Structure 1
Amino acid sequence: MTDTKDDAPDGLKALFGEIGDLKRIRSAGRDGSIAMRLFRAAWSELAAGAPVPDVARRVTARALAAARLGDLDRALLLEAGLPPAEVNGLLCRAVEEIAVPVPEPLRSALIGAIAVPPPNLPGALPRFVAQLEAQPRAGITCPGRPRIMLEPSENHAEHCLVVAVYGVILAPRFGADPATVFLAALAHHFHNAGMPDSGFTGEMLLGDHLEPVMRHFVDGALASLDPALRRRVVEARACLPDAETPDGRAFHAADVIDRVLEIAHHLGAAGLTMTTVLDDMGLVHDGPVKAFHDRVLAEMRIP
């Protein structure tokens, strides 16, 4: 991996951590996590015929904005009465702020993409979208050892979306095509639309049966796409078997980063301390009643 600047790896790690948390951000009146809804939006646009590069930029930009604003998205801000120009400015500032580690010209392209309202393309969702949303990830598995379950578990739609966004951001570092990496990532768990995830342990036990079982479910997912999009997905998925091409390296870098950062999230939550919450994060933050809050906590001996 060739770095564009000395601090790029640390900057990207923090950025990817914020994007990964889109799997866990939910809001009243909205179905599922932000990551799950972006996965749905991506396939809706693709099924409606939107060009893959446009969808990749638009969805990646929306993920970056949501990493800072959560569900304070364009639709909600307009509903609240903000003028469109103010909404655009707010969304652009969010992407501009969080995307500092993203190299140019991709960074500017993503800032530009968030400023353009998404097209109204009500594409029918392929069946595999709901199946992947309902399919949990396996947890940590290793042949011969009990499975380690970390709850709440992510689902395959969330994982695929986050890997797709990481892939777009990593593509320039590997000389890869971001649209191809994005589409390959969205489609890399097609087999889990119908195949419950038994992890590495189950795959090893299946042995020679693994490939035909996976192929059966991949073919089922592909069959739900129109011929033009199906061909494009098959072409994109050609980078999945190895890391011998730029597209393959960008995809596999994104995939392994998400797999490990997901576990890091659970470990970080388990190791959270009150010092971090109170001192570093300012849970009891400055304001007109902070002194009173501090006295109450001291009297109650909290923490």
Structure 2
Amino acid sequence: MARNEPDAGSGGPAAPVGLRELLVELNDLKRVRSSGRLGSIAERLFAQGWGALTGGADPEDVALAVTATTLAACRLCDLDAAFLSAAGLAEATVSEILVSGFDAVAAEVEEPLRTRLRDRLRQRAGLPAGPLPGFVAALAHQPRAGVTCPGKPRILLEPPENHAEHCLMVAVYGVVLSPFYRADPTTVFLAAMAHHFHNAAMPDAGFTGEMLLGDHLGPIMARTTQWALDELEPGLRESVVRARAVLPDDATAEGRAFHAADAIDRVLQIAQHLRAATLTMDTVLGEMELVHAGPVKGFHDRVLEAMRIP
């Protein structure tokens, strides 16, 4: 793990703005769901990542495979390898489609990371599926606090994300951001996947609640974090503890990559609510072509005009 190195933005930008559009789009995977599948795509990938880790997969393999899958899902959503194979497509064709989905959004991912991620989709090797620790479901059922500030009422935006979704998104962001900070992506991924271990048992009252706990906050967080760590076998637990050592500050490249990912995800989660609230019909019908080109578009347009819609 690279420690005490200056990040690539020293004396310049603190983060790579070229990745902004990708990170905004990825954030919606916390809200994409499909029939017959429980939870959002992000929630399910969080579980898949932990299942692979408890099943004995190398953490680097898990970090790259989960990140590659997440980027491909950005446009393909749940048209994933499992569905495409079940629909009768040959394995080579499945890989080709997944790579196409990845390439549609990954142009700004820095090399050689972009090629390494693409190769995970082109030459897919299944990850093991070990037993899921209890904290996986607990984090998926634990809502995030919303916008809180000591001394002020909270701002709740529905539906809330859950902690599994947040951890997965921060982990993927961290991997994608890692080249900019010259950080080890595996360490950032593991740290992010485990950074809310305490919330598996501890309800999230946000910054406000944490401040009201005062001196009790540290011991409570340490105790509840340990409960989650104790669910892991010793080897994996030690790897996670080492990775979590970068969480307290931005003194390491990995710490900077993690905290950049965490801050970006927290703010983009709120931004999507604001974006939805300001959406206009000009965008929907014009830019996004909700009534899109096809053999009956002319008729559709006349119907909407006759009905005075919008």
**Fold shared by both chains (TM-score > 0.5):** yes
SS at match of 1:98: coil
**What corresponds to 2:4 in structure 1?**
none
**What corresponds to 1:166 in structure 2?**
173
How far residue 116 of structure 1 moved from its aligned partner, in angstroms, is: 3.0
Give yes or no for the alignment of 1:262 onto 2:269.
Answer: yes
Give yes or no for the alignment of 1:196 onto 2:203.
Answer: yes
Structure 2: 5+ residue runs without aligned partners? 1-6
Partner Cα distance (1:209, 1:78) in 2: 51
Give yes or no for the alignment of 1:66 onto 2:73.
Answer: yes
Pick from 15, 20, 24 the counterpart of residue 13 of structure 1: 20
In percent, how many aligned pairs have the same letter? 61
SS at match of 2:104: helix
**What corresponds to 1:57 in structure 2?**
64
Partner Cα distance (1:78, 1:180) in 2: 32
Instruction: Please list the CA deviations of residues 26-47 of structure 1 after superposition, one character each: whole Å capped at 9, or x if unmatched.
Output: 0000010000000000000000
How far residue 55 of structure 1 moved from its aligned partner, in angstroms, is: 0.3
Partner Cα distance (1:78, 1:188) in 2: 34
How far residue 11 of structure 1 moved from its aligned partner, in angstroms, is: 3.4
Instruction: Please list the CA deviations of residues 169-199 of structure 1 after superposition, one character each: whole Å capped at 9, or x if unmatched.
Output: 0111001100000000000000000000000
Give yes or no for the alignment of 1:92 onto 2:92.
Answer: no
Q: In the alignment, residue 117 of structure 1 is paired with which amino acid?
A: R
Give 1:1-303 correspondences, 5 Å limit: 2=8, 9-119=16-126, 121-303=128-310
How far residue 162 of structure 1 moved from its aligned partner, in angstroms, is: 0.2
Instruction: Please list the CA deviations of residues 94-152 of structure 1 after superposition, one character each: whole Å capped at 9, or x if unmatched.
Output: 11221101010000000001123342522000110000000000000000110000000
**What corresponds to 2:3 in structure 1?**
none
Structure 1: 5+ residue runs without aligned partners? none
Q: In the alignment, residue 162 of structure 2 is paired with which amino acid?
A: N
* Higher RCO, 1 vs 2 (CA within 8 Å, ≥6 residues apart): 2
Q: Return 155-164 or 80-89, whichever deviates more.
A: 80-89
Instruction: Please list the CA deviations of residues 260-282 of structure 1 after superposition, one character each: whole Å capped at 9, or x if unmatched.
Output: 01111000001111111011100
How far residue 246 of structure 1 moved from its aligned partner, in angstroms, is: 0.3
Q: Return 177-186 or 15-24, whichever deviates more.
A: 15-24
Query: Which stretches of structure 1, 4 residues or longer, exceed 4 Å deviation after superposition?
Result: none
Q: In the alignment, residue 101 of structure 1 is paired with which amino acid?
A: E
Q: In the alignment, residue 103 of structure 1 is paired with which amino acid?
A: E
For the aligned residues, what is the CA RMSD? Answer: 1.3
Number of positions where the alignment pairs a residue of Structure 1 with one of Structure 2: 300
**Residues 16, 180 of structure 2: 8 Å contact kept:** no
How far residue 19 of structure 1 moved from its aligned partner, in angstroms, is: 1.0
Partner Cα distance (1:235, 1:85) in 2: 38
Partner Cα distance (1:201, 1:224) in 2: 29
1:182–1:120: structure 2 CA closer, same or farther, 3 Å change rule? closer
Q: In the alignment, residue 109 of structure 2 is paired with which amino acid?
A: V
**Residues 148, 207 of structure 2: 8 Å contact kept:** yes
Partner Cα distance (2:216, 2:87) in 1: 54
**Residues 18, 108 of structure 2: 8 Å contact kept:** yes
Partner Cα distance (2:205, 2:127) in 1: 38
Q: In the alignment, residue 42 of structure 1 is paired with which amino acid?
A: G
Instruction: Please list the CA deviations of residues 42-78 of structure 1 after superposition, one character each: whole Å capped at 9, or x if unmatched.
Output: 0000001111110000000000011110000011111
SS at match of 1:103: coil
